[in-house]
Amino acid sequence: MTAHVAGEFDVVIAGMTRAADDVVLFDLALPSGVPLPRWQPGSHIDVLLPDGDARQYSLCGVPGEATWRIGVLREADGRGGSLWLHDRAVGDTITIAGPRNHFEFVPERGTSYLFIAGGIGITPISAMVASAASAGVDYRLEYAGRSRSTMALLDELSAAHPDRVSAYPADEGLRLDLEALFADLKPFTTTYCCGPARLIAAVEEAARGRQLKVERFEPKEFGPPVLAGPFEVELAYSGLVLEVPPERSVLDVIEEAGVLVLSSCREGTCGTCETPVMEGEVDHRDSILTPDEQAANTVMYPCVSRAACPRLLLEL
């Protein structure tokens, strides 16, 4: 299905650098040569594919530079986006949108930061580490991967942040001991984690309520929805009341009614379709909101989330 992505524009691939086995860094520039806008660590962009679909990639360069950088892992068994990108060449034009940020990092004095990355999850984390160093706050990076040859940016990060980076290549028999890590955690520490689903689940278990922010590259798994049957969504500005059957998403029903909602991943990971909730209880099934944000019940992602009550009133 074609993505409805806001703010699409063309960029030129200004550079391609092999960063690890199957990982290429793409430097992106405006064709005019005008510097791209500054971004915050944790931001991602959409890359639009020829079929109109979109893929999300974290920015991993330096905020404020004229170009943007993304790291792309070639996934032979993926959905095709990484293979298409790896077939591009320097000088090619691609269409992107963004940046957007649901994993924002703003260093604060008096707070220590623990960064945990697994595999290609290092891409957003690398910018956070650089930002923490520039701000002069206390930080450390724990980075796990299959082998050193698969761990993008490892050498660069180790050189730039001596004594602050610990690497755990599995093929060397090194394992990240999360229980010990969190047992020794300093007071007033916030943890940022990005990586495979198994790593994130293990970190969430070990953190046990401590300050933790995560970003997922794949959607969380959920059980059956709260409501097994249909429910209604009322669109406050459009004046429509729509029935959502069990087999369809809220987003699909809204779009079929002719109301445009910007969307991209359609799996609850990118945040593009964020919609304000005016009334009603949401069955949150996204992979973005924290438990506190879900409890606040002020926004939902209609590509995956549903109603936990007979009717939702949405600001659309």
pLDDT digits (tens, 9 = 90+) for 34-82: 999 999 999 999 999 998 888 999 999 888 899 999 999 999 887 789 9
Per-residue pLDDT of 7-30, as tens digits, reads 799 999 999 999 999 999 999 999
The CATH number of the domain covering residues in 9-100: 2.40.30.10
231-314: CATH topology is: Ubiquitin-like (UB roll) (3.10.20)
Amino acid at 24: V
Indicate yes or no: pTM above 0.75: yes
Q: Hey, where are the domains in the chain?
A: 9-100, 112-216, 231-314
The Cα-based distances of 9 to 51, 115, 126, 171 in angstroms read: 16, 32, 25, 42
Question: How many CB atoms within 10 Å of residue 218?
Answer: 11
Q: Tokens 């649901």, residue? A: 102
Distance of CA 306 to the CA centre of its chain: 21
Q: 112-216, what's its fold?
A: Rossmann fold (3.40.50)
Residue 3 has pLDDT above 60, yes or no: no
Q: Are 196 and 118 in contact (CB under 8 A)?
A: yes
What mean pLDDT value characterizes the chain? 94
Q: What is the pLDDT of residue 134?
A: 95
Ranges of beta strands (E only) in 217-265 are 231-235, 240-244
For residue 166, pLDDT over 60 is answered with yes
- Confirm whether 9-100 and 231-314 share one CATH topology: no
Which ranges constitute the DSSP H helices of 165-244? Answer: 178-183, 197-207
Q: Give the separation between CA 153 and CA 20, rounded to whole angstroms.
A: 8
